[in-house]
Each structure stands twice: as C-alpha cells, then as structure tokens.
C-alpha cells in the first residue's frame, strides 16, 4: 500500500480514519451516531464503555451537539 505509515502512532491515525468513514456513512444514512455507537458497543459486549461514553455525552448539556468533523 503506497503511503502507508508504520510509525508508533499509525494505529491511532488509522482508527481515526475508520471512525470518520463510519461517521460519514451513519450521517449519510440519516441515523443518530450516538445511538449507533452505543448499540454497536453493546453488541460486541462493551456495555461498560458504551455507558461511559453515553454518560460523558450527557454530562454537559451546554456543550455543542454538532460534530466539528462533518
């Protein structure tokens, strides 16, 4: 693969790219990204992580709700 980075942080960059691709697909389909992420994490047995993310998202109601990446 041309342009592949094998550095110590390449896994993180790849993960971010994958999440952006996933987010684009979810938003394009008109789905709620938060709900889809929660349900996906629960489906793979990570309810603890799903609840943690849900709690953080609901902690600050004054925080902007629009994704800055899109």
Mean pLDDT taken over the chain: 84
- How is residue 69 annotated by DSSP? -
Does residue 7 sit within a domain?
A: no
60 CA to centre of own chain: 18
- Which tokens in the block code for residue 8? 């110590």
Q: How many domains does the chain have?
A: 1
Average pLDDT in the 42-55 region? Answer: 94
Q: 49 versus 60: which is more confidently predicted? A: 49
Give the up-direction half-sphere exposure of residue 41: CA atoms within 13 A in the CB hemisphere.
Answer: 14
Does residue 68 sit within a domain?
A: no
pTM: 0.67
Give me the domain span that covers residue 40. Answer: 32-60
Average pLDDT in the 3-11 region? Answer: 74
Label residue 1 by pLDDT band (50, 70, 90).
very low
Give the up-direction half-sphere exposure of residue 49: CA atoms within 13 A in the CB hemisphere.
Answer: 9
Query: Residue holding tokens 């789905």?
Result: 31
Average pLDDT in the 22-50 region? Answer: 94
């Amino acid at each position: 693969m041309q342009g592949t980075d094998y550095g110590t942080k390449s896994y993180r960059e790849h993960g971010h790219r994958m999440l952006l691709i996933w987010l684009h697909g979810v938003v394009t389909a008109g789905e709620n990204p938060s709900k889809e992420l929660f349900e996906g994490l629960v489906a793979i047995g990570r309810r603890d992580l799903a609840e943690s993310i849900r709690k953080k998202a609901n902690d600050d109601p004054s925080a902007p709700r629009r994704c800055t990446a899109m």
